[in-house]
Amino acid sequence: MQHRSRHTHAHRLAAAAALVAACALTGCSIGPVSLDDFVGTPSVEEALAERRSTLAPVVTNDALVKDDTLTVGLLASQTAPLVITAEDGTPSGIDVDVAHALADALGLSHVSFVSVPVASDALGETCDVVMGVDADDAGDATVVGGYVQSATGLFAAGDATAPIDAADLDGATVGVQAGSVSAAELDGYDVNVTQSPYTNLNEAFDALEAGEVDYVACDAYAGAYLAAALSNVSFAGTLDEPVTVGVAVSSGELQAALTSALQQIQTNGVCDVARAHWVGALPTLSGETRVTGLTERADDAATDDAAATDEGAAADTDAAADTDAAADADAADAPAE
């Protein structure tokens, strides 16, 4: 996914995140604040770095690939805002911020990042944990907790209260990235909309802000990341049921410690701040954020019913074919969103 620069906006959010993260980690509290109050404060990583010389590890080095270091795998297929890779190879994004917070909660002084193609193959070999993993894609690994969700989001021009109703889409023009999974998802519902395809999401959101389309359908987090830089775009809901995404880890000492660490940063608010840094006020996605009144197209429902009656060897063959098709679809959509 291509993305425009958000340096001023992100810088102020990072400043707010740094102070809130530092307060949460040290037990202090703050009252209502404005982003303007945080100009000039250090980044999240800098704020945590000041503490790390005094940390006491809660895991032994036997549980780690590298001593005193949380080695974090970032999926090569991951895109903004979960992972953003600079020209010099430096990663940033939600996965990176959450990984830094996890290392701090584990009492580890250092964090390093490696790119991995598949979570289960990398764990214990090149990294200790892998960020942003769906339980269905974890293989032999265990996925701990959930700090983000995956779903197709809908974004509206102007103010919208999520979730909107399917009736609000009647006669609307919806911008999509051509050939994307989100475009196919929208096409699977019985709604009277006209899809307007764009080369990338930047173009789609520019059209939304200019009033050339009524909505944009895309990955919810990617859309929220772009919408945070715009003044007249709001989240309108999700089309599908969100899937929770967590941290993959092998079983053993590190799994127990990581579970506790993730609970800690979610309870003290650090995880929410890291997330808000990149996607603003996007709510936690759930069944409650789905656009109401959506129904699948009749032909899709009939196809689903037919597939459900397959049995025996034929079912196994179909399942294998479906898996290959899904893999091809995901590969085709990766650069799109």
- The span from the CA of 13 to the CA of 36, in Å, is 10
> Which is it for strands 172-177 and 193-198: parallel, antiparallel or unpaired?
parallel
| 121-139: pLDDT as tens digits | 899 999 999 999 999 888 8
Residue 7 has pLDDT above 70, yes or no: no
Percent of the chain whose predicted confidence (pLDDT) is above 90: 66
**What pLDDT is attached to residue 258?**
97
**What pLDDT is attached to residue 299?**
73
| 96-106: pLDDT as tens digits | 999 999 999 99
Question: Which phi and psi (to 5°) does residue 49 adopt?
Answer: -60, -35
**What pLDDT is attached to residue 193?**
98
H or E stretch covering 101: helix 94-105
- The span from the CA of 41 to the CA of 268, in Å, is 20
Indicate the pLDDT class of residue 38, thresholds 50, 70 and 90. Answer: very low
**What pLDDT is attached to residue 323?**
33
Residue 109 has pLDDT above 60, yes or no: yes
Residue 8 has pLDDT above 60, yes or no: no
**Mean pLDDT calculated for residue range 135-147:** 91
- The span from the CA of 213 to the CA of 209, in Å, is 8
| 276-308: pLDDT as tens digits | 999 999 999 999 999 999 999 987 554 454 444
Residues paired with 235 in a beta bridge: 155
Residue 224 has pLDDT above 70, yes or no: yes
| 234-263: pLDDT as tens digits | 999 999 999 999 999 998 999 999 999 999
As a whole number, the mean pLDDT across the chain is: 81
Radius of gyration of the chain (CA): 21
